[in-house]
Structure 1
């Protein structure tokens, strides 16, 4: 292989955007993709896709795109699965990536090569190929290995439609006139329950161990992530004590969405960080209308009968487990997996990307997301490409070791990471976090508007001449921020986070 060749495992959003920036900086990426085309989860024909017919994004088109390709005119606020697949295919075509994707190719093994670099063994049909690379990016996805918990009697469930993981959900049409149980309180669980109820299921029940606070997809006509996942919120999180931050976040959530128990769901923990946040446009209204029932977790199953922890019981035709995914990287050689401390939930990395003992190996998109993902993937891909190309200083071994220790210390904490936190982290690492003092006319948009991908093209490597206008346009897209003037509350928060913003710019 040429010395500038880079293997990328996976041609989903993370793999594609990383390949685009590697190519921009002089590398020759080769993408290994198990499906028949790019797109990852958004490719309905992929054997690893957990999407379903009728599924739409949870984040707006402004935040579910990359910085240098917009969605076609007329795309709805929340694009469909098919529109997202077309977008990613168009992105691959625009940047010359299609010819670099080896489709229907499974990576079977990644191991160290004698003398340095990496050996990658792949299989397509009956042909096995082993190649050597100086650099490899693992972008195979966080949501590919469904997790189904152990439940007494589950194997004996006799409902007509059986029990399955949410990744096997094909759409509400399959559950019309059926009694459906959805287990879990994640976004996918609540969206599937809502879809089944709106598609004509006879009854829908949702059960879970922990009630999360539930945000809708729109707040007064503005996509939720434009309001909640902002730079100001991320910077405030760096300087406020946890209890103050939790109280402020809870007050904000209650003001726009209310408490779940107000409408018949269970009561959430008073500490919003302990409870967690999920999202669904229709779940709480459907609970309020009695079209979705809520129960605590499953105690046992006896044929069609499911008994819940509160002693209630119901008969069901189908059970769908929206209970998440294991972290699965089965192609990593055992010694690499051991170095990474890899298990079904954790991987030890410096800032989710590099490891000091694994030179030339990077990871992209393997975090459990909360919020808009595409801007974060692009920033991480830009950091990897710029560091390897020498556009910015690569992190030293000592810096990586410090970051690795910091990550290991956080192992026992929450696994889900708010994407606005990661966006600022990767932007700082890539040298593209905008200095607010340089953009006074954009201050309100940058602090209180969406963390749009183009807002990270204002300065630093790969800046765009029209980034200021596009950043303002993204902030004004849904009417939340049309003028540079701030209200009193925003001014107070601006003053509070100015120091944190300055430290990022430095």
Structure 2
């Protein structure tokens, strides 16, 4: 009898988890609360933070799964193109007939050796459950004193609810936050006819353009070398190397008239945005410190200045929200608005048969690490790779708990390499000497994780070589002088 698995969510994480669970022989069923597969990429009002004119801030090569490259050579894709891609992926692996649309899960609990998944249609028993319902669904507005009194005609909204510039044409808009949604919305408002756009931030981040010197920036900053450096080199050296990549690509914010960030990139943070800093330099976006208070239409900032606004938009993060989990499960996980105790964001030793996909906070694109996490999960449950013993899992959970209160965001390349190692598919440098430079300093394209290990593909090397050379950055197998110096330093540690 096949093991019956419920996957909660039919966005990218749920779809890729179902694809690999099916490949490993599991009887897999997906529950999707919305009327269409795709998760955030549907743009459904109230359930998605994707607005109609949004384009990805990650390149097409890193916004794909290993079995299905995107058509064409467009570098950054629209939300509608990503949704069509997810439909094609679901059709390719015959997932659509397994998705129960408009089936919101209201309760998950464990008892009698099985898992119960309850929807409005009743409860159903499963042997195992995967939670892939999304990390970015419940926006968090900041606790600014007086925010509820704001009386501007466009009110207070999260960027999660932003659907275009039309309501803000000719209006004075304050955009709060320094992550990608805040900066991209601010840039769109400035281009789209807002009378004045002001961005308010707690701290100034470094800003990396999406495209620099003909190469998508996610190809430069999220590399395997970067993951190895994070493991072996002092934090100060990794900080220096990343800051060099960022400032070489786009300069430093103060050069554009924005505030000066902390000298440490790790302390300041970094955001991808192509147009934000040039618009600051042109005076089309003003930058202010964080608000102290709001009173009617007036916002008072930390520098003592006060301005009137017609609308406030905040891109200030999300709460981790899994309301359907039974109380005892929530307690075991130590679940709160930020944290979920699990071994590498996936398994908990006291909850066998339960797993999570896509529940970590990250900088960089999710498609590649989501697929690697899904493979690790499926391989572990099928026995193709050995699962971590309980002691190792408990140690991993304790290590995560010890980091509570510290910044939780991880980088895409660190997540991807960690999951690839667990799944047994990290590419081996000594087996691919002709690809050595691309594997270290090129993009972490999904094809490179089909070179070795379970489900390796015969054409993966050719596909990865094309991906690495797509923008002309990794055409030669020889290291540049900087790459050679960085590699020598890494080898010395």
Q: Quick check: TM above 0.5? A: yes
Matched with 1:395 is 388
Q: Deviations over 1:70-119 (max 9, x none)?
A: 11225x211001000000011011100001111111111111112x1211
SS in 2 for 1:107: coil
How far does residue 498 in structure 1 lie from its aligned partner after superposition? 5.0
Matched with 1:292 is 285
CA 46–70 in structure 1, closer or farther in 2 if over 3 Å, else same = farther
Q: Is the 8 A contact 1:219 1:256 kept in 2?
A: yes
SS in 2 for 1:62: helix
Q: Deviations over 1:395-447 (max 9, x none)?
A: 22122112112222222322111010010000000000011000000001100
Matched with 1:227 is 220
Alignment partners' CA distance in 2, 1:90 and 1:216 = 30
Matched with 2:116 is 119
Number of aligned positions between the proteins: 493
Matched, 1:350 2:349: no
Q: Deviations over 1:263-289 (max 9, x none)?
A: 121121122111111111101000000
SS in 1 for 2:34: coil
| 1:421-500 correspondence runs (5 A) | 421-497=414-490
Q: Deviations over 1:183-231 (max 9, x none)?
A: 1111100000001101111110000111111111011111001011100
SS in 2 for 1:399: helix
Alignment partners' CA distance in 1, 2:195 and 2:309 = 10
TM-score by length of 1: 0.95
Matched with 2:248 is 255
Matched with 1:78 is 76
Q: Is the 8 A contact 2:199 2:285 kept in 1?
A: yes
Matched with 2:367 is 374
Matched, 1:336 2:324: no
Q: Is the 8 A contact 2:157 2:313 kept in 1?
A: yes
Matched with 1:61 is 60
| 1:34-183 correspondence runs (5 A) | 34-45=33-44, 47-73=46-72, 76-114=74-112, 116-123=113-120, 128-183=121-176
Alignment partners' CA distance in 1, 2:265 and 2:41 = 31
Matched with 1:8 is 7
SS in 1 for 2:106: strand
Matched, 1:277 2:270: yes
Alignment partners' CA distance in 1, 2:310 and 2:436 = 54
Q: Is the 8 A contact 1:10 1:139 kept in 2?
A: yes
Matched with 1:503 is none
How far does residue 255 in structure 1 lie from its aligned partner after superposition? 2.1
Alignment partners' CA distance in 1, 2:340 and 2:355 = 12
Runs of 5+ unmatched residues, structure 2: none
Matched with 2:19 is 20
Alignment partners' CA distance in 2, 1:314 and 1:485 = 55
How far does residue 46 in structure 1 lie from its aligned partner after superposition? 6.0
Q: Is the 8 A contact 2:2 2:25 kept in 1?
A: no
CA RMSD, Structure 1 to Structure 2 (Å): 1.3
Matched with 1:504 is none
